[in-house]
Amino acid sequence: MKRVLAVVLLGFGLTAGAALASVEDEIRARIAPVGDVCLEGNECGAAAAPTETASSGPRSGSEVYDAVCMACHTTGAAGAPKIGDTAAWAPRVDKGLETLITHAVNGFNAMPAKGGCASCPEEEISSAVEYLVSESQ
């Protein structure tokens, strides 16, 4: 009888050990990180390598307008003159294109510098101003 009891206890012990190992594996899987941090200069594999796209040069005035300026200059938000509104643009155009470009680059009244596009080069902002003026005269 002692042998039977010993075999039964050994069986339960092995089963309990396997169950605990399974639970520990499940816990490890649940708390595992969802990703890895790849710092510049480290080799993290091809999946983490950034893809570089060739720049086709500065965007046209209409492209910059569509991407950045349209939000305010189509709706008139915060007092922005609407594109195509000749009466609203006339006094601004009278100040000269250079003044308009300076205001667009540095910000003026409610408009932030570069219309909020900090990554836009001044050349693109100038093109956008020229586009807005040409569409509003």
> pLDDT 10s digit of each residue in the chain, 137 long?
777 766 666 666 656 555 666 788 888 888 988 887 888 888 876 555 555 555 678 999 999 999 999 999 999 998 999 999 999 999 999 999 999 999 999 999 999 999 999 999 999 999 999 999 999 88
Domain boundaries, the chain: 61-135
Question: CA-to-CA distance for 26 and 41, rounded, in angstroms?
Answer: 34
pLDDT at 24: 86
pLDDT at 98: 95
pLDDT at 7: 66
pTM across the whole model? 0.60
pLDDT at 9: 64
Fold of 61-135: Cytochrome Bc1 Complex; Chain D, domain 2 (1.10.760)
pLDDT at 35: 80
Question: CA-to-CA distance for 128 and 59, rounded, in angstroms?
Answer: 9
